[in-house]
Structure 1
Amino acid sequence: MISLDIRKKLLGINLDVDLEINSGDFIALSGKSGSGKTTLLRILAGLEDARGEIKIEDEIWLDAKVKKAIQEREIGFVFQDYALFENMSVEKNLLFVSNDKELCEHLLKITHMNEYKNHLPSQLSGGQKQRVAICRALMRKPKLLLLDEPLSALDPQTRSSLQSELLTLHNEFKTTTILISHDPSEIYKLASRVIVLDAGKVINDGSPKDILLKTKGSQKLSFSGELLDIKKIDVIYVAIVAIGQQIVEVVINEDEVQNLKIGDLVSLSTKAFSPQIRKT
């Protein structure tokens, strides 16, 4: 069990988080930019000060008397920018953390990086670098793995592949993991629990299905997106909406036009139709 009771004054908000997390859980931390997500991870890692208590199983990492140093906390931390040692090969990046060659080979095999073990980071793609960063974070066999949007800069295909590998690693090592992500599909695929922050406070906490599935009543499908434009074609109005990576057109009536403006965040839902699904 991991217990967090953390308070910190930030620019414009007060971070105030009181949570219990089961060991081995995969937690997704979601919320708007500036809600305190990255600060929370940095406090857990010991990179920032805070008041309160952090208890990992039976070990106190932070309280009124104790503040464990970064190197004393059994964590793995993966950022967006990889943070690899550019003058070391892939294998040496991992062995620098722990001289466990068997674990090193196993992690590289799971992530399909064993054939690149003698390459320097400059010879790798972004996805390959992030695989190395994730493997390196697991070399310490940490009690807590912290992932700060590690896949956000990758193309969709590479991102999907790395999500599957992250899930494989989590299922094998059972490391308690906290992932910051703004991608609903990533959260749904990876997490067992979603915690939503807003202005430093937890405003929602539940399963991915409960948090992300936004249908109500008899709705069959519901999507959130940004209104890009409204066009009048003959006697009808068409709204252009961005949903994730896709742009869709929706016919709307004149009353709806009066209540909408370009840039609004909108919800699209439907009740009675039979959707078709096919591989693209």
Structure 2
Amino acid sequence: MIEIRIQHPLTSADGADMLKPDLQIAAQQSACLSGASGAGKTTLLRIIAGLLKPQQGFIRAGDQVWLDTERGICLPPQQRRVGMVFQDYALFPHMTVQANIAYALARSQPALVTHLLQLTGLQALAQRKPAQLSGGQQQRVALARALARIWDQPGSLLLLDEPLSALDAETRSQLQDVLQQAMQQSGCTSLLVSHDMAEIFRLCQQVFVLEHGRIARSGSPEQVFLQGGQAGQLTLQAQVLAVRREEVVYVLSLLIGQEVTEVFASAEQAAGLRPGDRIAVAVRSITPLGRAG
């Protein structure tokens, strides 16, 4: 079980706020941290990893207390059983793939390095350096390195800060498969920051929605995102690409998943919308298009 209680000043686009989450993640469970930009997601991950000391807080992973400000306990990152995957990979450019992975280990474990190379599909690239790899390959190395640090360690935690957000859809899907298999094999608990609904449903059993520094909703993906809507209504997440007026209605160009579509909207619905805004689109009927093959 991972227990996290934090209190720390938070500065967002809306002004000063307080990061004050209280959450628990069951051992070997995959959890997601969701919420708008500026809600405090990355700050929370940095605090958990030991990269930032909060004003007040308590973090316990299994039988080890990582942070207890009342008792003056704040373990440095190297003493916490944490592996972290960043958006920007953060690989050592002068090291080979194999050396980047091995660097995370406290002692030489060539068998584990070989296994992680195989698990992430990097065997043929083991002697290459990061500059010789694609973005997806570099992210595989970052994942393998993070896993090496926590592999088969009770009470370990894998932190993932939108690790696949910069990748194309096909590469992202492939790495989701790798990530899912890796989390199952490693026996770790994981906390993923993601805005991708399909990714959340695919990888996570538990979701925490962070709003203004606090946990606003929590539960399974189904409980958090599907309940409370109108019966027979499907809600899709979309990004606004363009808004234009045509006579008495507005037309919204939207990105839903990897597809661009246009929908009609009233003046009230379109008011204030700008390219880049994220919105929810209600679908009240579904028409089957047939099965492939």
Query: Pairwise mapping of residues 39-188 of structure 1 onto structure 2 (< 5 A)?
Result: 39-50=43-54, 51-63=56-68, 64-65=70-71, 66-98=73-105, 99-140=108-149, 141=151, 143-188=156-201
Distance 1:8 1:214 in 2: 31
Report the CA distance shift for 1:136/1:236 in structure 2 as closer, same or farther (over 3 A).
Answer: closer
Gaps in structure 2 of 5+ consecutive residues: none
Deviations 1:86-113 (A, max 9, x none): 1111111112222211111111101110
1:215, 1:222 within 8 Å by CA — same for their partners in 2?
no
- SS of the aligned residue for 2:208 comes to strand
The worse-fitting range, judged by mean Cα deviation, of 25-34 and 219-228 is 219-228
Distance 2:254 2:228 in 1: 18
Among residues 264, 270, 280, which one is paired with 1:260 in the alignment? 270
Distance 1:196 1:18 in 2: 12
- SS of the aligned residue for 1:267 comes to strand
Among residues 189, 192, 200, which one is paired with 2:205 in the alignment? 192
Report the CA distance shift for 1:220/1:68 in structure 2 as closer, same or farther (over 3 A).
Answer: same
Deviations 1:7-61 (A, max 9, x none): 1112211010111111111111111111010111111111101112111112111
Distance 2:268 2:194 in 1: 34
Q: Normalising by structure 2, report the TM-score.
A: 0.87
Percent of matched pairs sharing the same residue: 40
- SS of the aligned residue for 1:34 comes to coil
Number of equivalences: 276
Distance 1:214 1:245 in 2: 25
2:2, 2:27 within 8 Å by CA — same for their partners in 1?
yes
Query: Pairwise mapping of residues 227-242 of structure 1 onto structure 2 (< 5 A)?
Result: 227=240, 228-232=242-246, 238-242=251-255
Gaps in structure 1 of 5+ consecutive residues: none
Distance 1:265 1:80 in 2: 21
Q: Normalising by structure 1, report the TM-score.
A: 0.90
1:184 deviation in Å?
1.0
1:130, 1:150 within 8 Å by CA — same for their partners in 2?
yes
1:208 deviation in Å?
1.1
Distance 1:259 1:96 in 2: 53
Report the CA distance shift for 1:76/1:274 in structure 2 as closer, same or farther (over 3 A).
Answer: same
- SS of the aligned residue for 1:115 comes to helix
- SS of the aligned residue for 1:204 comes to strand
Distance 1:266 1:106 in 2: 42
Deviations 1:219-254 (A, max 9, x none): 243223345324437x876443333433222345xx
Q: Which residue of 2 aligns with 1:246?
A: 259
> Residue 67 of structure 1 aligns to which amino acid in structure 2?
C
